[in-house]
């Protein structure tokens, strides 16, 4: 069995803890769409509290994943944007999303569009509706 270098494990563990904190992935995913106001981030993430969102944004800023911009306007606006370091998480988050779609069932799935890929490469789209109580 191959021996695992402690430094590799420590880096991996730190990265997973960083992006795996509750709400952090959703915040980064939202910010991947571009510079965004606080209120829009909050509305994009159901159930996150103001306190938790503020805490996570401060943490992401301290890790140099997010930049906070204060716009001197009336009223003053605050916007958040991913740094290069934050944007570099895009592929990793896409892979996690792909994995989640395959392996994590939704408790109450909404109506969703699904697609089927034929052998010839064409795609057929269909709408599905989750049965109530299923």
40-89 tens-digit pLDDT:
999 999 999 999 999 999 999 999 999 999 999 999 999 999 999 999 99
Q: What is the pTM of this model?
A: 0.73
Tally: H helices and E strands in the chain: 6, 5
Which pLDDT band holds residue 9 (cuts at 50, 70, 90)?
confident
Instruction: Report the candidate in 97, 77, 78 with the shortest Cα–Cα distance to residue 32.
Output: 97
Rounded to whole angstroms, how far apart are CA atoms 56 and 86? 13
117 and 123 in contact (C-beta within 8 Å)? yes
The torsion angles phi and psi of 112, rounded to 5 degrees, stand at -145, 150
Higher pLDDT, 33 or 132: 33
Residue-wise pLDDT for 99-131, tens only, equals 999 999 988 766 555 544 444 444 444 444 444
Q: Provide the sign of the torsion angle of the four alpha carbons 118, 90, 43, 74, taken in this order.
A: negative
Domains identified in the chain and CATH numbers: 23-102 (1.10.10.10)
């Amino acid at each position: 069995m191959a021996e695992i270098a402690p430094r590799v494990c420590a880096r991996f563990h730190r990265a997973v803890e960083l992006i795996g904190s509750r709400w952090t992935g959703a915040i980064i995913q939202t910010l991947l769409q571009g510079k965004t106001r606080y209120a829009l981030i909050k509305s994009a993430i159901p159930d996150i509290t103001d306190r938790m969102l503020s805490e996570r944004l401060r943490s992401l800023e301290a890790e140099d994943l997010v930049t906070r911009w204060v716009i001197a306007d009336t009223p003053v606006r605050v916007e958040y944007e991913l740094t290069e370091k934050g944007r570099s998480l895009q592929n990793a988050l896409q892979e996690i999303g792909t994995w989640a779609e395959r392996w994590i069932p939704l408790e109450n799935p909404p109506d969703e569009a699904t697609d089927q890929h034929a052998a010839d490469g064409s795609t057929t789209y269909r709408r599905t509706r989750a049965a109530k109580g299923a």
